[in-house]
Structures are given as structure tokens and as C-alpha cells.
Chains A and B, each alone.
Chain A
Amino acid sequence: MARKRFAGEPVKKVKRGTFTRLINHILEHKIRLIFIAISMIGATFVNVGSSLFLKIAIDNYITPMLLQDKNNVDFGPFKTAVTYFGIMLVIGVLCTLAYRLLMVKLSNGILRDIREQMYEKMQKLPLKFFDTNKAGDIMSRYTNDLDTLRQVVSESLPQTIRGSLTFITIFASMLMLSINLFIVVIIMVLLMIAFTKWSGSRSLKLYRKTQAAIGGLNGYVEEMVLGAKEVKVYCYEQRNIDAFGVKNIEWANAVVKADLLSNILFPFMNSLGNILYVFIAFAGGAMALSGITNYTLAGPTVLTIGTITSFMTFTKTFSSLIGELSSQLPYLMQSLSGAERIFDLIDTSPEIDEGHYWLEKVGKNSWQWNNGEKTVPLVGNIVLNDVNFSYVENKPVLKHINVYADKGQKVALVGATGAGKTTITNLINRFYEIDDGTITYDGINVIDIKKKDLRESLAIVLQDVNLFTGTIMENIRYGKLDATDEECIAAAKLVYADSFIEMLPDGYNTIIKGDSGGLSQGQKQLISIARAAVADPPCLILDEATSSIDTRTEKLVQKGMDSIMQGRTVFIIAHRLSTIRDADVIMVMKNGEIIERGTHESLLEKKGHYYELYTGKVEID
């Protein structure tokens, strides 16, 4: 029965919900949020109030004091006012301190939650996800996108919220002072918004152009630096410099245009704000002199000089706030697309495991399975029965594959690149799910076996060796976390890795870092074989595992390899046919089908495809 699962694809579109979802993440921290809200409001009030204080001091205290006898001025009330003001400011400072500190905890907490969700997800994603997305793209979700999200959560969002709070406070205060003057403000503000909107859309276009230009430039540099040795060998240096120069100029031209617009925006908006200030003075002055009724939210009043000056102070903050908020907004929108990609990743459906058969190791090279009812020793017979498979629908990669591998047998897969050899091994351990047919392990359908157990019982050694940062010992132990040092060293000795490891300055404690361990590809392959040997699985898959080891060393390793393969079911894929000559059965593959099968001798006698490959008549790669 066909079991096609759409693992590796996003379950649903989240485009619209991204913002709400982000807010929901924030809302999870309710108590902290309440405290943040309270202290933020407090800080905002104090901040707005402080800009009014001087006005109040002048109107209510200094001006009346000026009317008093110059030699006997009563500073008492003013002193009290300053004291109250001081207390208010202290509260303001405390509020700022409180909300800033709480914000640090909140934003980092949210980020930690999301980050952990992402890491957890990474471990659960099916292989298809990693095969269909470039490593760089996946990394960028974990680095760039998380970083933009961090900026949104810990910088833009609080700034926007704080800005909006101030905005509302000032908005209300202005309406309390004068609706007439506010109309002047509105006209000017609409002008400013229209301008930022225009320049915003223009600068976005220019910004995209610079992104494309820098992408082209960096791409070129990357390719030429990675191929630097070729450049030297072919004396390409001068032509390289010329070609780079062209791209560099393209980049510079794009950047000058884009940067100019964004750099002009600030002085321009600033000037508009100042002009608004003057207009308010004109309008306020004219109104005060003509005695027109001043409408406020609190009712009609007479426009006083104190009101005008306060209003003017608000105008300044108001216009600078609009500038700030409008510059923050496009950035916020841009960052949300990063958040969207993150949520997409979190929503990607994980690998499914419906297994109810457990496999467990009971001793050296001895395993058993149980399904909750009975426990049976595991043999390790693998059967592929009429298996069909395609990575993309309607493009079959494997057609009617039948393979029988018994315990202790060595099954070799041979054929050109793309014939489907590696694909077969990817199906046995369920990296991918088959379209049709069955794969059984001791007669149990692999779908019914716990994925974790299935994979643990099938060690794969790949051509491209991936070692992890750490010591050589730790890398060998990766196959079995509780292996003793002795076990690891024994495994290394078995594959002739011991001699070169002992020659390294720190022996088994030599630290391997990323790709540049100073180890040759062949040496890395030996380590990865040792890693699989330590795991001691009933079934072993060697996918071009010795391709980088020279023929002489391979001969030396052969004895160790034979003892590793002893008593296990082994699948071998090798390009070098001498490696697989002694296999129990050789399957020759072409275009997703097994076209010949038999032993080395019988296949040579047949004078078919294998014969052509072996005698070098057909290119194997």
C-alpha cells in the first residue's frame, strides 16, 4: 500500500498570522508584561511632564514672583514645587529602570523559547528538508532571521510601543490645550506622512537594487576566492581584477543612490518639524491677538500665552516622534518577514514515527526485537520487495527493486552516478518513505519499527565524512556514547587508523575543528569507519566509504574491514570495483533498475554491463 507523507512541507500558511503569533509569544509572559506596562506608562508620563515643568515653573511661580517685592521674594511655594517635581523625576527614573530591566528579561526569554523550539525542530525534521533546502538557507534562518527577530523583540517593538504611548499622551494633551492649533498640526503632519510614504517606497526599490548589487559582488568574490588556486594556475589575476572592478562600480552606483535618499530624509523631516513650530507661533499669535474662541476638549477657553508656548513644546516632540515612528515602521515590517520564515520552519511537519516494534542491543553483536508481546533475537535479514520510489512525483528513481540480504551477507550495489544506489540505502533506514512495495527487517515491515531503533541498528558510513568539533576520541565515540576509551581505540586499530592517530601531537585527544583538521580525506574516512564499528550494529551500509583511501592502504585496511563485516548484513556501494569483488552478490544498477545480479565471476562470464564497467569500457562516474 502506498504511504506517501508530505513531511518536510509547511502545514499551513502563516503569512497573515505572523504578527499575531509574535504578539501571542509576548503575551505568554503576562505578569511581567503588566509590570512593564505600568512602569512604561509611569516613565512616559514623567517624561512628557518634565517637558512641561519649565513652562509651569515660569507661568505659575517665576512670573508671580517677579511681581513681588524684589528684596523680599517668597521662594517657599517654588521650593515645594521643585521638591515635588524632584520626587516625580525619581519615580520616573525608577520606572525607566524597572521597565528596561524587565524588558531585557522578557525579550531574551521570548527569544530563548523560540530558539529552543527551532533547535528542537531541527532534530525532528525529515531528511528531505535538508536535501531540498540549501544548508546556507537553513543556517540563515537560525542566524539572520533570528537576529532580526531579536532586534524586533528587544529594540524596535519596545521603542514603537513607548513611542506610541508618548504619541497618545501628547496627542491628548494637545487636544486639551487647543483644537484650533491642532488643525494646523494635522495638516503639516499629513504632509510629513505623505513624504515618508513616497520616499519609503522609493527607497525600498533602491534598497532592493543595492541588495542585488552586493549579492552579485559578494557572489563573484566568493567564487573567485574559493577558486583562488585556479586563478593562480591559469594566470587569471588581471582579468579577474577587471571583472571585479565592473561589479564594484555597479555596486557603488546603486549604493550612492539608495543611501542618498535615506540620508536626505532625516534633515528634511527635521526641517518640516521646525517649520511647523513657526507656523504654530504665527497661528497662535494671530489667534491670541484677534481673541478668537479657543476650542479644547475641556470646552471653549481663551488662548493664553502660556498655552501657546506649551503647545509649541509639544509640537516639537510630536513631529520628531512621527519621524521616529515612520522610520521604525518599514523596518518592523521587514523584520516580520524574518519572523515569518522562522514560524514556517517551526510549522514544518516533523518526521512521523508509528513504530511499535522495539529493537534493542543485548550484548556484543547481539540484538533482539520485541513488540510488547514477545521478545525475539534479531537476525538482520533485509528484504526489499518490489519497491518503487520517487523524490518528485511521477519521476521514478527506483523501479521494481527486489533485494534479499541475509545475515552475514555482503551485498554490493554498482552503477553510474544517479543509478539509484544511495537511494536504496536511504530507504532501508527510512530517510525517505517508499511509494510502493515493502521493506522488511526480519520479516517486520520497517514502518512498524521504531525509527530510532531501526536507525541505531543500521550504521551508515558515507563518502563525505562529517566529523564534529571535538577530539578524535569523541568522534569515534559518536557511534556509541557509552563506549570506553579501550573500545574506541580497538575500533581504530581494526581499521588501521590507530597508527596515524598515534602520530598526531595529542594522539586520540587531538581536536578536530570543522573541515580543517589537518587530516586527509582518507584519514577522515578511516575515523568514520571506526565510528561505525564502535556502534556495533547488526547491519552496515558502506557508501563509497573507502573511496579516498589509496589502493595500498585499502589492502591493509581490508583485513580489519572483513572482521567488522563478519556476521553482519552489509550493503556496499563502491566506485572502485576491486573493493566489491568478493561480495556475495553484486547488483548492477542502471536508471533505477537492477539490470544484472550475481557474483563477480558469474557477472564477468556473462559479459554484460558489469563486464563493461570492470574492463573500463564504460565510464562509471
Chain B
Amino acid sequence: MLNVFKNSILKVKKESLLSIFFILFETGFEIIVPFMMAKLIDLGIESSDMHNVYKFGFIIIALVIGQALSGIFCALFAVRAGTGFAFDLRERLFRKLQTFAFANIDKFSTGSLVTRSTTDIANVQRSFQMVIRGAVRSLSMCFFSLYFAFSINAEIAKYFTYMIPALLISFILLSKLAMPIFEKMFNAFDSLNNIMSENIHGIRVVKTFNREDYEYNKMKKSADDIYDYSVKAETYVALWDPFMNISIYTILIIISWIGAKAIIASGNNPELGLTTGKLMSLITYGLQMLMSLMFMSMIYVMLVISYASIKRVQEVLVEDTRIKNPENPIYEVKDGSIEFQNVNFKYKEDAKSRVLKDINIKINSGEMIGIIGGTGSGKSSFVNLIPRLYDTTDGKVVVGGQNVKDYDLNTLRKSIGIVLQKNVLFSGTIASNLRFGNENATTEDMKEACDIASALEFINELPDGFDSVVEQSGNNFSGGQKQRLSIARTILKKPKILIFDDSTSAVDTKTDAKIRNGIKNKLPDTTKIIISQRIISIRECDKIIVMDNGRVIAYDSHDELLKNCSLYKEIYDVQNS
């Protein structure tokens, strides 16, 4: 699993290694300090020797300064390593998202991708920082403490090592007991948040049907679960404190008892064995070791908690991009002709029914084609295959005489403009949104495109014109205005094929007709495909595709269809009665 993060870790190799290097120094200094303090007490204070007090005092001050300096350097590199790691990971994740095909996006859903690239990535960063600073620090502290304790008195120090497995076992036991409950608690939190979010968004429904008490009881049930689980889980965590106390106190008693015997045996003579000063240092080392063990256990718990985030980020990074560039791509689309040859399509491979069935159709370059059909008849799926937003399940789509799979993706998509059904504007200005499709568009280009899209009138009415602010997702514009801006944005791409996926549904019929006339007259060489629910929007097209349940059931002109296609006639009658 770590493989996925390897690249980002390697990017900050130097900083990470340097910070680990300085951590070793920092902890080394920190560990010698109590050793010197013992000397200061033994040889200075206890022996009433001011000379030694000063001598060891200044040694300690020097050590402390060394410790502070290496601590600062360590922080310097650790912070750079942690931030650099996160910086690289964010960048990689974002780049990866740019390569995603529609199918990849559908698989994760945009909401989940947002969480993964914001909250989850922050958790991964925190884990990384914790490992390179906290874990290394406490490991080296633990090691140094043991080393010095052994060098003072191996006989007593060996009792410390007995504590390690004891603590380890109790820790594993407690976490084994607590973890599943924590998991249940997090699930309860998730379901509670879900209930609340649905309640807030659906507040009108709740109030209309008077379901306040019903909703409250749903919440209360989840809240009670949370209470039960967190009391249970935290109880296990709370047990950890007394456990630590027991270990500390046991060490104290053992050391003071055995220590007293050893001191009496040596006559408190440093030459012969243990002294009171050394006994004090032993205690310090013992406690330090326990503290670092406790710290490691804390890091472990945090890692377990952020494991879910690590996994979720990893899933995105290893996701196989569904649509890739071919090996020797074609970089030019000759014209706007389109051909579907025996095309079948399913959104998911394991889906039972096909969304598009046996489609065979030919559209000449420069033609204007209408598509009509009920909800779910496959109109949008049909046009989505043309710029390769999805790949066909069987058969092939040919654009400009070549299979779409043989084109360079950018080349293909730049020459096909599609106005999506649910169009999104981005925060910025009208101009920045228009340039979304073509960054080199001049003001003249924009005016021309907006004129065709019938957007120029309302833009001119705005005080700031093309520089008017657009809020996130274009919330400060009406549905009809958003649609017209999206159309202009697409026209600016100067595509060879222009597709409207029900793009004028919120526009009044007069403007709708104006837009249609505009693209017909001003873009004669562009192939134009218009999906609409309204017959009036497509009746003038060269040909109209009638779709039903994934099949093309008719492909002809309006007049012919009225004569020969019963479904078309039915729709026509409903709309003109």
C-alpha cells in the first residue's frame, strides 16, 4: 500500500532524513542531561562542592543549548518534509483527477472525490508528520533511555525490559477491545450526520408532513447509540491511564527496593557500584522509556483512525483511468462527419440491460440533426460517445473518417463542442467562464459567440459587462442565462461538431429559435446535433433521430416522420393539442 505514497515520500527524502538525523541528536542530548544532573547532585550538591556544581551546571546548559538547536533544526526539516509530502500528494491526486474519464468520476461520485482530495488528504498528511517526528522521536528516546539505564546498572535496568512486553500486551488487548467499538461509533456518527443533512435539506418536507418528532426520534436513536458506544470505547481508553500508573509505580518500588540494597552494598561509593545520584537517573530513564512507549501507542491509535483516509486517497491514486490516449494518435480531425457502426453501450460492464442498442447511423459534415425521445431513451448517452466521454461497449464511433479511439483525446475533444444538460459555471467573471473553452479568445470572439448564443443582450445590460462576477456554480444567473453562457462558451471553441444536450430548455421559444438560426447560418460547416424535448426546437433540422428505449427507431426529416413514425406523431400531438 505504501508503494502509492512512495513517490511523494521520495520527493522529501532529504528533508525527512535530515529531520530524523536531528531528532537523534536532540534525543541524545536530552538523554544525557539527566545523567549530568545526577552528577551535579552527587558530586556537587551532595558533596557540597560548588566547583562541581558550576562545572556540571555549565555542561548541562551547553547540552541544553545543543538540544534546543537540534530541536529547532529538526522542526525546520520536519515541517518542510511534512508540507512537501502533502504538497506533492495533493498535486499528484489533482493531476490524477484530471485524467479521469466520466466513468471514473461516476464510479466515485463527485462528492466523494471532493472529500478524498480535501479532508482525507489532510489526514494522510497528519499521519506522515506524526510518523517522521513523533514515532522516530519516541523510538530513539526509548532506545537511548534503555541504553543509558543499562550502562548505569544492568541489574536494575533489566526490569525495565520486562515492562515492555507487559505494556505491549495490555495495549494490544485494550485496542483490540476498543477498536471495533470505535468503528461502530464512527458508523453511528456517519448515519447521524446523514439523517441531519437529509433533515436540513428536506426541511420543507419534514415540516409539511409534520414529521418533526419522527425525525427527532431517528436522531435520538443514533445519538443514543453514539453515547453507548463512546462510553464503552472511552472506558477502555480510560483503563490505559491506570495501567500506565501501575507500571510507573511498579518500577518505582522495584528500583527503590533493589536500589537501596545495591547502594548499601556499594556503600554509596561510585567506584564500587550504585549511588543515590545514579538511582535518581535510573528512575528518570525508566519514566522516560515509559513515556515514549505511551506516545508510540498514541501514534498507533491515530494511525489506525486515519487508516480509512489513507485507503481512500490510495484508491483514487491507483484507479485505472478508463479512457487513455492511443499509442500513435491522430492529431487532426478532418471534418465533422459522424458514423455509428453497430454500437452497443452499457454504463457498467456488469449491467444487465444496454443503454444503447445496435445503433447504426451516418451524419454528414455540416448537417443539422435533431434528437428526440422520452426520458431514459438514450439521447444523452448517444452524444456522449462522440467526444469519447465514454467508450462504446461494442461497435465503433467514427468521426471525420477515423475511429474516435485513434485520435489524440485533446484533439478530438477540442474539435467537438458539447453543451451538457447540467451545465456548471465557475466562480470568476463572465469572460473567464467564456475563455474556459478557449483561453486565447479575444473580446471580439466573445462578442460574436455571445451574439450567436443570444447572450449578448443580457451581458450588455449588466453594469460590468463581460467582467461581471460569476458566483460559484453560477448561482447569480438564471437557468436560461446559464444555458446561453454555456452555449457561447462552447461556440468559442470553434468546434467541427456542436452538440446541444437539451441546452435551451430554460430559454423562451423566441430566443431558442434565434439561437438555432444563429448556429445554422453562422456555422454552416459545423455539424450540429440538437437534443430537445420540444418538437418545435428540432422540426427544422435536416434530419431527426427518434429514440426509444436505447434504439433509433426512425431517422428522417420532420415531414417524413410525421407521416411514418407513430411515436413522433404522438409526441407532436401531445405538444400541439
Contacts and interface: CB of A to CB of B under 8 A. Distances in A.
B153 interface: no
Interface in B427-485: 427, 436-437, 439, 472-473, 478-480
Nearest to B206: A123
B249 A89 contact: yes
29 contacts: A50-B249, A50-B252, A73-B264, A92-B249, A104-B238, A143-B193, A223-B472, A228-B100, A234-B490, A235-B414, A240-B98, A252-B86, A259-B79, A264-B71, A267-B26, A270-B68, A274-B33, A275-B61, A278-B40, A281-B44, A305-B46, A308-B45, A462-B204, A479-B209, A514-B194, A535-B209, A619-B480, A620-B508, A621-B508
Given A82-B256, A104-B234, A268-B72, A466 B198 contact: yes
Interface stretch (A6-14, A18-26, A283-291): A283-291
Interface in A167-184: none
B80 A256 contact: yes
A248 B437 contact: no
Interface string A280-300: 011011101100000000000
Interface string B499-518: 00000001111111000000
B102 A229 contact: yes
Interface stretch (B2-10, B141-149, B219-227, B394-402): B219-227
B80 A230 contact: no
Contacts of B168: none
B389 A123 contact: no
A100 interface: yes
B200 A89 contact: no
A514 B198 contact: yes
A548 to B, nearest CB: 8
A225 B114 contact: yes
Residue among B235, B249, B418, B574 with the highest chain A CB neighbour number at 10 A: B249
Interface string B58-89: 00110011011001101110111011101100
Contacts of A120: 216
B75 A234 contact: no
B212 interface: yes
A271 B212 contact: no
Contacts of A231: 98
Interface stretch (B276-284, B294-302, B363-371): B276-284
B97 A225 contact: yes
B374 interface: yes
Given A78-B260, A100-B242, A616-B508, A281 B202 contact: no
A53 B256 contact: yes
A54 B418 CA distance: 81
Contacts of B210: 452, 455-456
B82 A234 contact: no
A351 B511 CA distance: 45
A65 B260 contact: yes
Interface of A: prevailing SS: helix
Nearest to A267: B71
A-B interface, 4 closest residue pairs, ranked by CB to CB distance from nearest: A267-B71, A616-B509, A466-B202, A263-B75
B207 A431 contact: yes
A517 B173 CA distance: 41
Given A127-B207, A274-B64, 5 more contacts: A89-B245, A248-B90, A263-B78, A460-B208, A535-B209
Given A127-B204, A239-B439, A309-B41, A256 B83 contact: yes
Contacts of B79: 255-256, 259-260, 263
B506 A621 contact: yes
A195 interface: no
A212 to B, nearest CB: 15
A122 B199 contact: yes
Contact of B279 (A58, A256, A528): A58
A267 B54 contact: no
Interface in B28-64: 30, 33, 37, 40-41, 44-46, 48, 50, 53-54, 57, 60-61, 64
Contacts of A456: 209-210
Sorting the interface of chain A by its residue count into under 10, 10 to 19, 20 to 34 or 35 or more gives 35 or more
Contacts of A127: 203-204, 207
A119 B222 CA distance: 11
A266 B239 CA distance: 28
A503 B111 CA distance: 28
A367 interface: no
A466 B201 contact: yes
A324 to B, nearest CB: 13
A85 B253 contact: yes
Contacts of A115: 223, 226
Contacts of B557: none
Given A57-B260, A267-B68, A221 B118 contact: yes
A418 B25 CA distance: 69
B214 interface: yes
A591 B299 CA distance: 61
A104 B231 contact: yes
Interface of B: 26, 30, 33, 37, 40-41, 44-46, 48, 50, 53-54, 57, 60-61, 64-65, 67-68, 71-72, 74-76, 78-80, 82-84, 86-87, 90-91, 94-95, 97-102, 105, 109-110, 113-114, 117-118, 122, 133, 193-216, 219-220, 223-224, 226-227, 230-231, 234-235, 238-239, 241-242, 245-246, 248-249, 252-253, 255-257, 260-261, 263-264, 267-268, 276, 279-280, 283, 374-376, 387, 389, 410, 413-414, 417-418, 420, 423-424, 426-427, 436-437, 439, 472-473, 478-480, 489-490, 493, 506-512, 533, 570-571, 574-575
A582 to B, nearest CB: 11
A269 to B, nearest CB: 9
A429 B207 CA distance: 9
Given A82-B257, A93-B245, A308-B45, A227 B209 contact: no
Contacts of A73: 264
Given A226-B114, A260-B76, A617-B508, A96 B45 contact: no
B7 to A, nearest CB: 16
Given A53-B256, A236-B436, A619-B511, A241 B223 contact: no
A357 to B, nearest CB: 16
A135 B241 CA distance: 40
Given A104-B235, A104-B238, A522-B375, A305 B45 contact: yes
Interface stretch (A389-397, A433-441, A490-498, A551-559): A551-559
A412 B216 CA distance: 35
A103 B242 CA distance: 14
Given A285-B53, A459-B208, A621-B478, A154 B234 contact: yes
